[in-house]
Chain A
Amino acid sequence: MFDLLLTGFQIVLTPSTFLLILAGTILGVIFGAMPGVSASMSVALAVPFTYAMSPVVAIAFLVAVYCASITGGGITSILFKIPGTPSNAPTTFDGYPMAQRGEAGKALGIALICSAIGGTVSAVAMLLLAPQLANVGLRFGPSELFAVSVLGLSVLTALDSENVIKTLISGLIGLLLATVGMDPMLGIPRFTWGSSAMLGGVEMIPVMIGLFAITEVLRQTSKPLKLVTTDSKAGSNFKTSFLSWPEAWSIRWTVVRSSILGTVVGILPGAGATIAAFLSYSTEAKISPNRKQFGHGAIEGIAASETANNAAAGGSMVPLLALGIPGGTAAAVMMSALVLQGVQLGPLLHRTQPQFLSSVFASMILTNILMVLCSMAIAKVFNKVLNVPYSILGPLIVLFAAMGSFALKNSTGDVVLMMIAGIVGVAFASFKFSAAALVLGLVLGSLTEANLRRAILLEGGDLLAVISKPITASLLLVCAAMLLWPVVSGALKGKKKVAA
């Protein structure tokens, strides 16, 4: 274990990697602080920068962007009541009232320190849990791996429990897109319509950049020219300050509970930082001794939200590194970036390339330290950044997105694909379909199909024999429960309402 840690820190502390992690942290904080740029979008926009990096440095860089973007989102939540990412929304409940009464610096201090603690706890959890999970995963054959892939897909309904059917349709479209190109077992072309350009399949990165970045820019196009704060006074001037010792001591259990809750929620595939932040905030609002202050500027509220969303970011790396199953959309983007570099994520990765896990751990620790220092400085200049009109910010995001897609294979075809994905994303958003579900389906599609068909081949064509294996059957039952739970709970809620 000690050797592993040493290797990780040796990798991230080499001057070039350190500078890249610093750049990733600054980039992440800036992206995260920009309203409308989610953590997944931040990672997607950062992917093109990794094309020239080695896979280990690339994941360290992307992890830095991911962790920092979630922290960066807290800045605008506190100063302007505009959550930078959806997972920072609960931070506005108490952060903004504190800013209004002239305590913006203190609110930022709490957010940053708690983010760093949450991120560090989840990094340690990742280091301890991922190898154990990978060892279990190594005993899995194709049928069990198929069930694990389905487990990753089973969170589809949890992504938007209000629109289960539309989310399932979106996930299935993602699975269908993954079948385009050469069939993984027999090499037969599918859905290519005779075009050789389609044989390689649908590139994941342009689709993701299109769905996350272009869709958001298009949606913002018809909105106001400037991001509007509800009270310009709140974030105009502030001095950064940290908590006094008694204040810090008073939130210790909030931080401990939120770190654990955030990490556990992050590990569950698909749950993610947003659910973690809201769950942690609502838990603390119920059990905190200071619960009456919640919503009026309680330091516990900021601590709960910011600790949990960062802890979830680290937690989502556990299934990614141990089983090759992304814990969330941002992890799915990271997975596709690594697959692009020829890295085969999964249980074998820990045996063959242990430096991946250690460098991710070291990068997370380093990012958590760097982002505290960077965020304070960035927060001070962010007032001015938010004054940049969207007529400049929007096209600039499109340019980065377009060049990021182009740089993948030096092909304008990928830029066209990205634009189409962006336009489809707008239709999806308008009619409440789920872009995140489509991405999950696209990422896990080929893995699911290949393992299922391999398992069927091994069992002589008997599908029942595949799904009735003990581990496979157990996992598939869990999947069925996860898929059906939102439907059942929705029906139960409906009955209660009728009865009332």
Chain B
Amino acid sequence: MALELLFNGTLLAFFTYCFFYIGATVPKTNAVGWGAEVWPQAILLALIVLIGVNIYRVYRGSSAEERGLSSVRRLNLRSIMTGKLILGMGALFVYAIVLQALGFIVSTFVFFVVYARIVGQRNVKSLVVSSLVATLSVYFIFSRGLGVMLPRGLGLLRDFALILERL
């Protein structure tokens, strides 16, 4: 319940900010027709009302024990942060961020090893072989098959990617 309220509360705060942001950054409505801010503000208003109703429903639907601050204290942040889901999200996010700098080959190989390990693959030989095969397969499908210019990386990694492309 606490996490759900936190999620809804964050949405409510963000959309309330957006409501005022769009009003402040878009020029005022002209005489005929709607201005650029009216449609988004109408959506945001509906969102704010519905999220408010949802928060009320979540709160009302929970037991007295869940409503107290003790439910927040019971949240084991350490176990949440070290859970497979959070680790998986982290791996995905880092992969997306470093893809440009490290290039497709290196970042994908490392990502595959890390993600397969998070999911539960323990056999190192299997990890390395499957990562290599998957990386090269996807590389050839997209780079050679579909003509997509995959990220080459920077510096030495770029030179390595160029050598591979010449093969």
Binding site for B on A (CB under 8 A): 48-49, 51-52, 165-166, 168-169, 172-173, 175-176, 179, 183, 185-186, 188, 190-191, 214, 217-219, 221-222, 225, 389-392, 394-396, 398-400, 402-403, 406-407, 410, 412, 415-416, 418-419, 422-423, 426-427, 430-431, 449, 452-453, 456-457, 460-461
Question: In the complex, which residues of chain B have a beta carbon less than 8 angstroms from the beta carbon of A221?
Answer: 84-85, 88, 118-119
Contact across chains for A175 and B43 when beta carbons are under 8 A apart = yes
| C-alpha gap A456/B138 in the complex (Å) | 49
- Chain B contacts of A51 at CB under 8 A? 146, 148
Question: Least Cβ distance of A300 to chain B in Å?
Answer: 40
CA distance A395 to B132 in the complex (A): 12
Q: CA separation between A222 and B84, bound complex, in Å?
A: 6
Chain B stretch 143-164: residues in CB contact (< 8 A) with chain A: 146-151
Contact at A399–B83, with CB atoms within 8 Å?
no
Complex Cα distance A390/B119, Å?
A: 7
Q: Is the CB of B142 within 8 A of A188?
A: no
Option from A166, A169, A218, A225 in Cβ contact (under 8 Å) with B89:
A218
A-facing mask of B127-141, CB < 8 A → 1, else 0?
000110011001000
A391 to B146, CA, bound (A): 26
Told that A214-B92, A415-B99 touch, could you supply 10 new A-B pairs with CB distance under 8 A? A169-B47, A172-B46, A186-B35, A222-B84, A391-B119, A395-B116, A400-B138, A416-B97, A419-B93, A431-B8
Minimum distance in angstroms from B28 CB to a CB of chain A: 11
- CB-CB under 8 A from B92, the residues of chain A are 214, 218, 398, 419, 422-423
Q: CB distance B22 to A222 under 8 Å?
A: no
Q: Looking at the complex, which one of A185, A407, A426 makes contact with B85 (CB distance below 8 Å)?
A: A426
Asked if A190 and B22 sit within 8 Å, CB to CB, the answer is yes
Knowing A172-B47, A453-B33 touch, does A403 contact B148 (C-beta < 8 A)?
A: yes
Q: Which residues of B contact A168 (CB under 8 A)?
A: 46, 50
Interface of chain B residues 9 through 44 with chain A (CB within 8 A): 11, 15, 18, 21-22, 25-27, 31-37, 39-40, 43-44
* Cross-chain contact A449 with B39 (CB below 8 angstroms): yes
Which residue from B18, B21, B134 sits with its C-beta under 8 Å from A396?
B134
Question: Are A456 and B34 interface neighbours, CB within 8 A?
Answer: yes
Distance, CA A183 to CA B4, complexed state (A): 33
Q: Specify the chain A residue showing the minimal Cβ separation from B131.
A: A395
Contact across chains for A52 and B146 when beta carbons are under 8 A apart: yes
Contact B150 A222 (CB under 8 A): no
Does chain A have a CB within 8 A of B57?
A: yes
6 pairs of A and B residues whose beta carbons are closest in the complex: A391-B121, A183-B36, A391-B119, A457-B33, A188-B36, A395-B115
Interface members, chain B 73-90 (any A CB < 8 Å):
83-85, 88-89
Residues of B within 8 A of A173 (CB): 47
| Residues of chain A lying within 8 A (CB to CB) of residue B15 | 176
Q: How far is the CA of A422 from the CA of B135 in the complex (A)?
A: 21
Q: Chain A residues with Cβ under 8 A from B25's Cβ? A: 190
Instruction: Quote the shortest CB–CB distance from A285 to chain B (angstroms).
Output: 34
Whether the pair A460, B4 counts as a contact (CB closer than 8 A) is no
Question: Complex Cα distance A186/B26, Å?
Answer: 11
In the bound complex, residues from chain B placing their C-beta under 8 Å from that of A389 are 119-121
Known: A403-B148, A406-B150, A419-B93. A427 touches B7 (CB 8 A): yes
Interface: B100 (CB within 8 A)? yes
The CB with the most chain B CB atoms within 10 A, among A185, A396, A418, A460, is that of A396
User: Is the Cβ of A185 less than 8 Å from the Cβ of B33?
Assistant: yes
Establish whether residues A191 and B40, one from each chain, have CB atoms under 8 Å apart when the complex forms.
yes
B34 near A453 (CB under 8 angstroms)?
Answer: yes
The residues of B that contact A423 with a CB separation of less than 8 Å are 89, 92-93
Contacts of B118 in A (CB 8 A): 221
Of A191, A218, A400, the contact of B88 (CB 8 Å cutoff):
A218
The minimal Cβ–Cβ distance linking B24 to chain A, given in whole angstroms, is: 12
Q: Do A398 and B115 have beta carbons less than 8 Å apart?
A: yes
**Closest Cβ of chain B: how far from A100's Cβ, in Å?**
30
Residue B106 at the chain A interface, CB threshold 8 Å: no
How far does the alpha carbon of A402 sit from the alpha carbon of B116 in the complex, in Å?
16
Q: How far is the CA of A406 from the CA of B115 in the complex (A)?
A: 19
State in angstroms the CA–CA spacing of A140 and B151 once bound together.
Answer: 46
Distance in Å from the Cβ of B38 to the closest Cβ of chain A?
8
CB within 8 Å for A218 and B22 given contacts A391-B121, A423-B93: no
Q: Which of B7, B11, B33 contacts A461 (CB 8 A)?
A: B33
Q: Which residue of B lies closest to A457 (CB)?
A: B33
Instruction: Let me know if B71 is at the binding interface, CB within 8 A.
Output: no
Instruction: Say whether A392 contacts B134, CB under 8 Å.
Output: yes
Check if A403 sits within 8 Å of B26, measured CB to CB: no
CB closest chain-B residue, reference A172: B47
Cα A175 to Cα B39 with chains together (Å): 10
A416 and B96 in contact, given A52-B146, A406-B148 (Cβ under 8 angstroms): yes
Residues of B within 8 A of A186 (CB): 35-36
Question: Which residues of chain B have C-beta atoms less than 8 A from A430's C-beta?
Answer: 3
Contacts of A416 in B (CB 8 A): 93, 96-97
B75 to chain A, nearest CB (A): 14
Cβ-defined partner of A169 (8 Å) among B3, B4, B51, B146: B51
Find out whether the CB atom of B40 lies under 8 angstroms from the CB atom of A190: yes
A416–B94 Cα distance when bound, in Å, is: 9
Instruction: Report the minimum CB–CB distance from B134 to chain A (whole Å).
Output: 5
Which chain A positions have C-beta within 8 A of B26? 183, 188, 190
